[in-house]
Structure formats: structure tokens, C-alpha cells
Structure 1
Amino acid sequence: MPSQTARPRAIFLDIDGTYADHGLAPAAHVNAVRTARKLGHLVFVCTGRPLSMVPTHILDAGFDGTITGAGARVEVNGEILKDARFEPELAARIVEALDAHHAAYILEAPEALYGRIGVDRRLREVLGPVFAGRPQHDGVLSTDVDPLEDILGPMQYGDDLRNTSYAKVSCFDSPVPLTHLMESFGPNVGLIPSSLSALGDRAGEIFMAGTHKAVGIQAVEARLGLDRADIIAIGDSANDIEMLEYAAVGIAVEGGHPAVLAVADRITAPPAGNGVALAFAELGLLG
């Protein structure tokens, strides 16, 4: 039985593997977001992607705001509530360490992605085999979006990135395990596994310690005067753990990261099974 609710809720949706797959959202998810908002609920994107990597066709469904960079940047109704970046000295030190070990990485900022000249070729070599086996159609989603172009499209290239302002690093190929590099960065830097688990410990996301999606949700909560009891979050990856723990109702996607499944109050289907729409219906968000 659906759990009907009359009071407005605030729903925070991860993108990849939750709201969308391979950069595309099923029509049922788009319709669910639009219907929920018409009924007075608030719906936000809450993604690890920087704003520069969030496609316009994702946002076209209509959202009340975006939390991007896994909590580094928060925008509500056109107002930027937060735009956190690494301190310049630390940012330069991270870049120097990655370059010294010939790592293939991308620096993520709201305005663009930044990479060293030639990193596009390296990423094609590393990620090509990972994406090669993906289905072209799964019955619900048309997966004709090239995931490599999804990454490389917003890229800007340079020889020296030490002075770049950025909020997060996605490392796709490091000859040295990233856990070893982390020891030199100090307590203000965190590391989570890459969502591309096939890459192992040579890949991961380097972020500002203490910055995560729940921090972004708290910024929205404070600005809009939300009640934490009315917050719902849906996600599937390691960077969704804190937001599912923080939400009154945390929903994990079937087949998601084990730690996410462990903290979830409910489980829903992946995008191919219209999981976000099913969860909305079960919670009474669609009327």
C-alpha cells in the first residue's frame, strides 16, 4: 500500500544510476518530478557531478534547485548558497602529486572540467573498455549518449593546472594507489572509490573533507526553512551514504553500493525499472 502524505516534502535525487542512466532519464522519472512539483513538493538534483557536467536535458524536467559537486555547490531558485573550492595552496599540491605520478585525472568546477593536454586520449584508453560492454538499449532507456563524450564535452585543457580553482578531482588511472597519495595531503582531503568499480584502487574521487551531499541538503534546509522530517533522498553510490543517513526517508537503488544499501530505509528499482517514479508513488508524492 502506498504511504499517502498530504504535507509537502523535499526530495533530493542523485543522477547517475538513480534518476538517470548513461545520461538519460526515463520518461516516467521526468513525469514523476513534474507531477510531484505540481502537487507542492520540492525536488532537487543532488549529484556528485559538477554543474558543468549536468546536461541541460536532465535539468529540463524542472527542479527547485541543484546540489552539485557532492555538496560543494548549492543553488536554489537561481540563488547560489554555496560554492566551495580547495584552498589554492592545497589545490596546487594535489595537482603536483598527481602529475608526479603520471595520473590521469580531471579537475571539477561548476564552470568547466579541466585536464592536462593529452588526458582525453588517456581516458579513452582507460574508459573505452569499461563502457564498451554497455547495452545500447535496455527496453526503457535509449542509451545512445556516449559516456566518454559526456565526460570530455565540458573539458578545457592546459599544460599546468596548479593555479586552477576546483572543488573535486576525479582520478581514473593512477599508477600508485590513491590511498598512498592521500597520506601526503593531510586531514582536509578525503577519498571515495570511483563509481566505476572496474577501475579498482587506481581510481577514485578526491574531495574536500567534510563536504558531502548532506551538507548541501542542510544549506537548502536552512535557506527554505525545511523540516528534516520532510526530507527524502534517493541514491545508489558511495557519495550518497551521508544524504541517505540524514534524510528522514533514505532510499537506495537496487544493486547500489553495499554501504548505501545498508543505511537505506527502503530499496527501489534502478532507472530501467522506473525506480524513482515507483518510490514517489509509494510515498504518496504523486497524488
Structure 2
Amino acid sequence: MTTPRLVATDLDGTLVRSDGSISPYTAGVLAAVEDLGVPVVFVTGRPLRWTEVVFEHVGSHGLAIVSNGALVWDVARHEPRTVRTMDAATAVAVSEELRAAVPGTAFAVESLDGIDLEPGFMERAKLPAGVRRAPVAELFDRPALKLLARHEELDPEEFWALAEDVVQGRLVITWSSSTALLEISAPEVTKASTLAQVAAGLGVDAADVIAFGDMPNDLPMLTWAGTSYAMADAHPSVVAAADHLAPGHDEDGVAQVLAGVFDLGSVE
């Protein structure tokens, strides 16, 4: 394997430990890789408000890809670099058809301003102040980065398969949760397609990218990158698709691999 020129890593279940932290060892390895002139780009399904807590580990390039590729955030300038929003009419039509096909489906909408939810959408995380509750059609009154669909009874993969039958490629559907929560984006918006844009802007080809992930929303990125690693505790589909297997996220697997790939020796 040639020495990578860009590192792309998912966060939850990949770089971030189960307690939500980035260990001192991992932080040290990321900094050492950046010191070699190799940018480390976080590529996450997290919305912006959940990604900001790890921005101290973003290197001098200052870029993070969030919301499964719908947003490239310029950390230094605290502003969007790229925004890939959904067509409101298409998203509303899809949500109505999905609810008709799978009764019990509830929706939420992510935007640059945060999250807004239908009354029946049961959010697991603490909600920020000012969240609106309204029918999904009313939530598309501002540019939307991602449509979330939740079902309280179905298995995640069963829900995904049913949704794919309804959507028929009009939007991109993926998932990264242990619950039946689908993440729906505009056509062709994936971690891979946005990472390709960022890499091109940095003068890096796909063949020179090393990528890490653990869940189905990482699959496009892992199959695009020249070198890919699934975490040891990744979803079986990710393990099958990746070139290599890294130690688990609670064992600093990404950092262990990078320390070997870049011959970093002992990192404090």
C-alpha cells in the first residue's frame, strides 16, 4: 500500500469511543498524521450540533463532512463550505408515500438551524431549545439537509428495505443506528460523493485515500476510497465490503492502524 495522502474517518463506532470521547492516544495520532501534511477529514452522519464537540481535533485544513455528506463545514471560519439540500416537494411526497406504505412512520428534518420534528417522532437524544413540532410538510419551509424517518417497532434493516421499495432511488436512504432510524438525503448525496469533492479540492485522488467506518452509511465511502478499513465490531455488510479489518473503536482501532501505516512509532 502506498502512503495515503488523506485520511477519512467516521466518528461514532469508529473514531469515537463508546463513552463519546476521543482518547488522548487517538488525538495524538491524528495530530501526528496532520503534522506529516496528511489531512484527516471527519466524515459523519452526525448533524452539525453533535459534530462541533470534536472540532478541536480537526487539523489545519479545517474541514468536516457532516449529515452524511449534505454539509461540508469550515471549522476555522465557522461557516458552511458546501450545502447539498433536498428538494422539498420530493421529500414531502416521499414522506407521505412512506407513511402510507409503512404505518407508524414518523419524521424529523435536519437543517443548518437544527432539528424539527413531527409530534409523533420520538427523539432519543436531548433536544436543543427552540425545536418545532409540526407535520412534516410544514418542516420543509427552510433548506433541509436530511430527512429522518423513525419506526418504533420494525428492525432497522426491515424498515430500510421497505423504504427502498417506496423511494425507488428518488432520494438516498441509509442508516447507522441500532434502532429503526433511516437517514434520507438528496439524490447522489453520500459520504463518498462529498468526500470526493473535498479530496479533489485538496488535490487528492481516491486511490490515495484511506477510510474507516462501521455502519451501512459508510459503505459508499469505503468502496470509493483506495484503502478501506472496517472496525472489528462493524456491521457485517461493512466488514464484507472493506479491504481490511481494524481493531474496535474502544481499542483506538483507527489510531492503531494509522500509527502503523505512517510509521509513527510511540505517540504520547
Q: TM-score range by the shorter chain?
A: 0.7 to 0.9
Q: Distance in 1 between matches of 2:256 and 2:117?
A: 39
- Tell me, yes or no, if structure 1 residue 160 matches structure 2 residue 135: yes
Superposition map of 1:153-232 within 5 A: 153=128, 156-163=131-138, 164=140, 165-173=143-151, 177=159, 179-196=161-178, 199=179, 202-232=180-210
| Residue in 1 that maps onto 2:71 | 73
**Conserved? CA contact 1:115–1:155, under 8 Å:** no
Q: What TM-score do you get using the length of structure 1 for normalisation? A: 0.76
Aligned: 1:49 with 2:31: no
Alpha-carbon spacing, 1:279–1:181, altered in 2? closer, same or farther (3 Å): closer
Distance 2:185 2:161 in 1: 13
* Most deviating of 78-87 and 272-281: 78-87
- Any conservation in 1 of the 2:119–2:135 contact (CA below 8 Å)? no
Residues 46, 102 of structure 1: alpha-carbon distance in 2 compared, 3 angstrom cutoff: same
- How far residue 42 of structure 1 moved from its aligned partner, in angstroms, is 0.5
CA distance in structure 2 between the partners assigned to 1:43 and 1:218 by the alignment: 14
* Structure 1 position 60 matched with structure 2 position 86: no
Residue 127 of structure 1 aligns with which residue?
A: none
Gaps of 5+ in 2: none
Tell me the TM-score normalized by structure 2. Answer: 0.81
SS of residue in 2 equivalent to 1:158: coil
Pick closer, same or farther for the CA change 1:155–1:191 going to 2, 3 Å: farther
Instruction: Provide the rounded CA distance (Å) in 2 between the counterparts of 1:191 and 1:32.
Output: 33
Partner of 2:12: 16
Residue 89 (1) aligns with residue 89 (2)? yes
- CA deviation string 1:158-203 (max 9, x = no partner): 223324232222333256845445544443123234421xx3xx54
Letter of the 1:36 counterpart: V
The residue number in structure 1 matching 2:218 is: 240
Distance in 2 (alpha carbons) for counterparts of 1:185 and 1:98:
8
Give, in angstroms, the shift of residue 275 of structure 1: 0.8
Pick from 103, 106, 130 the counterpart of residue 104 of structure 1. 106
- Deviation at 1:250? 0.6
| Distance (whole Å) between structure 2 residues aligned to residue 39 and residue 107 of structure 1 | 39
Q: Provide the rounded CA distance (Å) in 2 between the counterparts of 1:98 and 1:107.
A: 15
Q: 1:154 to 1:99 in 2, by over 3 A?
A: farther
Q: Per chain length, whose mean CA-contact separation is higher, i.e. which structure has more relative contact order (CA < 8 Å, sep 6+)?
A: 1
CA distance in 1, matches of 2:212, 2:99: 36
Measured at CA, do residues 11 and 110 of structure 1 come closer, stay the same or move farther in structure 2, by a change above 3 Å? farther
